[in-house]
Amino acid sequence: MTVPVIAGVGTAHPPSADQQELWERFFSRHYSGATRALAERIFANSGVTRRQAAVSPLIEDVSDWPTERRMRRYQVEALPLGKEAVGRALTSAGLDAGDVGLFVVCSCTGYATPGLDILLARDLGMSPTTQRMFVGHMGCYAALPGLGAASDFVVSRGRPALLLCAELTSLHLQPSSARVDTQQIVSHALFSDAAVAAVIVPDGRGYAVREVTSVTDTSTADHMTWDVTDTGFRMGLSPKVPQVLSTHVRGLVEDLLARHGAMVSGVDGWAVHPGGPRILNVVERELELPPTGLAASRATLDEHGNCSSPTVLLILDRLLRAAPSPRRVVMLAFGPGLTLYAVLLERHV
C-alpha cells in the first residue's frame, strides 16, 4: 500500500515585532481604565516574546477598517507569503510546481474569489489539471484535516499533494473599548501571522502520515467562535476551553497510539498547537509528559505567537530540523467545535 510521506516543509513570516513594544507603543493606548490594567497582565503572561504581523499596528491601525477593506488587503499580503512558503517546501522536497496533483489551502482569516489556491497555482506554474481544495473557517486545527485530505489523495492517486496554511490574524484587530472583554484581550495578546506549506509524496523519504483522527464535543460549540462582523472577524474564546481539552485529549492520543502498537512514552516528538500557555499546561499534565516534552511548542509560541492553522506545522518544522530529529511525532491541534485533531507521524526512510 502507498504510504503518504511529508517530504518537505516551507515557512514564511512577515516582519516581526517585540511583544513589549507592541504593548507600550499601541495596545497600552488601545485600552483604558481597569481594562488597561487587565490587558497589561494578560500580555505579560501570554508566553509570547515576539510575533509577526503583515499589517502591524505599530505602522497602521486597522481596528476601524470595514471588513471589505480588510479582505482586499488579505489578498495583497497573503499571496507573496503563500508563494514563499510553497516555494521553500517544493525545493525541500525536490519537486516542481507542475508535479503537484492536489493543492490544499487552509485559511480562516481572509476570503476572495478567485482565491489563494487559484492565484498561487497560476503564479507558481502548476498544471491546469492540478486539483484544488480550500479549507475555510476551521480555525487553528485546519492543518490536520488538510493534511489528512492531502494524504488520502496521495494514497489513492499515487501523486504528490501540497498543503498550504496561511493566516493573517493581524487584519482582525478589533476597535478599542473601555468595556472589559477578556476574550478580545487574549486574542490581541496571542495571535500572529504566518504561512507554512508541506509537500506530501507517495513512498518518499521523510515522515509517514500513519493516521489522522479527531473528536468533537458539540456540547461546547459556543466555547470558541470566529464571527464575521462589520469590522473584521471577531474571536470568542471561553476560559473553559482548557477544561474541555483535559476531558478528551488523553483518550484521543492513547487510542490513536494503541492502533499502531505504541504508547505515549514511545513518542519522542510532540507538536501541540499552543492556543496559549494554559493549553500547553493542560496537555502536558493530562499526557504526563516530561518538562521538555512540549519545548518545541513553547518555543514556537514564544517566537511566533499563535498563528492559527500554520502553527502546528511551524512546530513540526522545528522538530524536523532538530538534531537528532524524532522517530515518532504526534501532532495535536484544537479549534471550534470544540474539536481536537491528532496525527501520528513516523520517520520513513
Low-confidence ranges of the chain (pLDDT < 70): 178-179
pLDDT score at 168 = 98
List of E strands, the chain: 4-12, 16-18, 50-52, 102-107, 131-136, 161-168, 193-202, 206-216, 224-229, 232-237, 269-272, 328-335, 339-348
Rounded to whole angstroms, how far apart are CA atoms 44 and 21?
12
Q: Which three cell numbers stand for residue 125?
A: 506554474
- Residue 248's CB is within 10 A of a number of other CB atoms, namely 18
pTM for the full model?
A: 0.97
Considering the four listed CATH numbers 3.40.47.10, 3.90.79.10, 3.40.630.10, 3.30.950.10, the one that applies to the domain covering 4-202 is: 3.40.47.10
C-alpha cell at 245: 481539552
Domains 4-202 and 206-348 share a fold: yes
For the chain, what are the domain ranges?
A: 4-202, 206-348
pLDDT by residue (tens digit) across 35-50? Answer: 999 999 999 999 999 9
A 10 A CB-CB count for 29 gives: 11
CA 331 to CA 327: how far, in whole Å?
13
Residue 25 is predicted with a pLDDT of 97
> What is the model's pLDDT at position 178?
63
CA neighbours closer than 13 Å in the CB half-sphere of residue 111: 10
The rounded distance, in Å, linking the Cα atoms of 58 and 21 is 9
Listed in sequence order, the residues at least 6 apart from 116 whose beta carbon sits closer than 8 Å to its beta carbon are 75, 78, 79, 82, 105, 107, 134, 164, 166
Using one digit for the tens of pLDDT, what is the confidence trace for 312-341? Answer: 999 999 999 999 999 999 999 999 999 999
* Catalytic (active-site) positions: 140
What confidence score (pLDDT) does residue 177 get? 73
DSSP state of 38: H
- What count of other Cβ atoms lies within 10 Å of the Cβ of residue 348? 17
* CATH superfamily, with its number, for domain 206-348: Thiolase/Chalcone synthase (3.40.47.10)
